[in-house]
Structure 1
Amino acid sequence: MRKFSIEFPVFSLSFAHILIWLILFLIVKKYGTNPGWFLARFCLLLPLALCTILISGLTIFGFSFSKSNEREIAPENIEKYPFQYFSEIHVCF
Structure 2
Amino acid sequence: MTRMEKICLYLAVGGAVILLFMFFFSTRGVMDYNRLKSRQAQLDAQAAIAVSQNSKMEKEILKLKTNLEYIKHLAKHEHEMAAQDELVFKEKPKNQTPKN
The two structures have a TM-score, normalised by structure 2, of 0.32
Q: Which has the larger radius of gyration?
A: 2
